[in-house]
Chains A and B, each alone.
Chain A
Amino acid sequence: MRFETFAFLPPLAPDQLEAQALHILKSGLIPHIEHAENPSSAEMFWKLFPIPSSRIRADGTPEPHNATHIANVIESCARRHPYSFVRLTGYNPKTGQTEAAFIAKSPQEGM
């Protein structure tokens, strides 16, 4: 199953995954973790896996995400849904475009 960006590359190593997550955060994109069992091109909307804030500050605002945290959530999403593809996307609210989308975990890799 070769689809989405980075489909033609070897599976991303943990540090590579973290580097991509870091790029999403540094570009000001809003990260989404999505998962689906039998994705197809017609299926645009995958189920969202929430990224909880790592910490709430004293003034009530959530602390911004960091790449390690996102990589951990992807890991837990993959553990929760072992037969699903897990996708990381980045949405740019300024342009309304999803400017990053790639498969972070595929079921063949195992847990």
Chain B
Amino acid sequence: MSENTAFPHLAPTLKKLLEAHNLTASELSRQSGISVATLSRMLSGQGNPTFENICRLAHIFSVPLSHFAPTTPDEKPTQSPSTGRDPLLAMFEVTSPDLTEKQVANLMLSAARGRSMPSWLGAYAAPDTPQIEVISSTPAGPQRFHVTMAFPSEHIEAGSLSSILSMLSAALTGTHAQVLDVTLPTSLLRTFNGPAFGVRGLRDTFNKHGRPLLMASLRPSTGLSPKMYARSAFECLLGGLDITADPAQLTHTPAMPWRERFRFLAEATLTAGQQTVEYKAHALNIMAGTVEEMQERALWAKDLDMATLLVDPSVIGWSATASMAKWARNNDMLLVATGSRPLFGLHLPEHLQAKFLRLIGADIVSTASPLRGNVSGRRLVTGTLAHLRDKEVPANPEEHHPLPQIYGGLTGSMPAPGGGHNPWHFPRLADAVGDDAILQVGASTISHPWGSAAGATAARTALEATIQARNEGHTLSVDNRTILQRAAKFSPELKESLRHFQEGSFQFGVIHGSGDKNTPTEGTVIPPKPSDNVTLFRRPEPTPENDTE
């Protein structure tokens, strides 16, 4: 008789069942129709039982067939998988030509657990340790699968984005998967501070209510002296913009030393504030090689009474951004996270970047424009805006966030949709983003034929006319032309702006973060009309920051 190798657990399982049902072997034999000799071989763990006999036993004891199945220490069918109380959920997309859903799930699981080979230490791990589990694996198209996994909160550090990202990154390693969405449980979410000010706090501090704010990213980023550069900021602020911002490329060069830049910009902001009696701000780019250096620059900015700091998270990284956000919170300053973030673009969808930036406390986050790109890209922006501002975001696969997220009491970040807007866009833009946003209008402001101040006035007039008409009950998507043309009658700057910029054209900027590189872009970008006037500032050329395609 050979040792029963296929069913090593048959004998003990059968004995337990007999005891539980208070049966003897002969009674079982009578009921099941299996001979006593066969039963005794089974009970002594010898021989190979037939499939028919196993089925009969399962029927008698009314247990599933798998009850007698061989088990290994790694998979215990009797014990349900435990992912802890409040797991973090993440959905991945895996592309594979030859794997089934089950195989894809196993692939992701072994990658995420970091235990793709069996090891002697498996037996040493505490048996009740919460484990990463696959919740669902579904086909999502030809050769594509959506795998949802649960990561136990017990393995994630409180208030640490790197801890979450390292979990995700383990699952991506070697699987060619893409992160689609991540949902934090409320318990974990509350370990993050969120923005210090929030949308309400920012508005109350800036004392600007009832309309979107206007922001311009200054250009050109090279070639100007610090004083001339600060003058361009002054012109924009004086003309009516609320915030100006340094471009991300402007750090520190011999021709543009940061101390001098900061000093002149502080002067420009102060003077513009005094002359307009409005609160004006300039976001100073503090990016540098090390966090210590950035903190030194931030401290200098604080000493100059500047309110706003600017970083590009894809350049300095998540933890450095979180450090600066914490620094800004402690020093009562605002942090602007800007840039198209092309360095993250491949692996983190835009709404997820927005969510993470909100968690670590960026007060203003630049996003793509809801007017640009194809329908899918625009929906993505809608989702991004919701993730920045809302208290609760329901799952919406059409907006590219297939998992819900509850933000609870976390303060919101102010979204700054950007990408070469001109006054023609404002009614539709205000309609799409609502009041709690900062419109980036640098392109049309700086390339206005009469200079930045006139460009800013045109932008502000167009925006206020839009808001007035909306409050009076006009439908912005229908009456957009009428509203602007009526306002152009009393504002020569706006009239010139509407003449110079073509309706539907975008100055420059990006259709970034559409998520799917293969989706063709339906939107047409009409190049602006060449101007016959000499512009005060050179029209900016596409830079890596605003042109990812």
- Report which A residues bind B (CB closer than 8 A): 1-3, 5-10, 16, 19-20, 23, 39-41, 44, 89-90, 95-102
> B80-88, B273-281, B295-303, B519-527: which lies at the A interface?
B273-281
Asked if B471 and A19 sit within 8 Å, CB to CB, the answer is yes
Task: Tell me the bound Cα distance from A23 to B277 in angstroms.
Answer: 27
Asked if B207 and A44 sit within 8 Å, CB to CB, the answer is yes
Interface size (B, Cβ < 8 Å)? 30
Asked if B464 and A7 sit within 8 Å, CB to CB, the answer is yes
Cβ distance B239 to chain A, nearest Cβ, rounded Å: 10
Contact with A along B200-216 (1 / 0, CB 8 A): 10011001111100000
Asked if A5 and B491 sit within 8 Å, CB to CB, the answer is no
Asked if A100 and B200 sit within 8 Å, CB to CB, the answer is no
Cβ distance B405 to chain A, nearest Cβ, rounded Å: 19
Contact with A along B366-392 (1 / 0, CB 8 A): 000000000000000000000000000
* Known pairs A20-B468, A41-B276, A44-B204 / 5 extra A-B pairs, C-beta < 8 Å: A3-B277, A5-B208, A10-B490, A16-B468, A41-B277
Chain A residues with CB below 8 A from B200, complex form: 95-97
Task: Evaluate whether A90 and B210 lie within 8 angstroms (CB atoms) in the complex, with A3-B278, A41-B278 already known.
Answer: yes
Chain B residues with CB below 8 A from A19, complex form: 471-473
Task: Tell me the bound Cα distance from A96 to B208 in angstroms.
Answer: 14
Q: Which residue of B lies closest to A100 (CB)?
A: B210
Task: Tell me the bound Cα distance from A9 to B280 in angstroms.
Answer: 20
Task: Tell me the bound Cα distance from A23 to B468 in angstroms.
Answer: 10
Chain A residues with CB below 8 A from B203, complex form: 97-98
B457 interface hit (Cβ, 8 Å): yes
Task: Evaluate whether A97 and B199 lie within 8 angstroms (CB atoms) in the complex, with A9-B468, A9-B487, A20-B472 already known.
Answer: yes
Task: Tell me the bound Cα distance from A102 to B468 in angstroms.
Answer: 10
B435 interface hit (Cβ, 8 Å): yes
Task: Tell me the bound Cα distance from A5 to B240 in angstroms.
Answer: 11
Task: Tell me the bound Cα distance from A6 to B467 in angstroms.
Answer: 8
B460 interface hit (Cβ, 8 Å): yes
The 4 closest A-B pairs by CB, nearest first: A101-B209, A23-B471, A100-B210, A98-B209
Cβ distance A2 to chain B, nearest Cβ, rounded Å: 6
Task: Tell me the bound Cα distance from A8 to B497 in angstroms.
Answer: 15
Most A C-beta atoms less than 10 A away, residue of B199, B280, B435, B467: B467
Task: Tell me the bound Cα distance from A2 to B457 in angstroms.
Answer: 11
Task: Evaluate whether A41 and B279 lie within 8 angstroms (CB atoms) in the complex, with A8-B457, A9-B465 already known.
Answer: yes
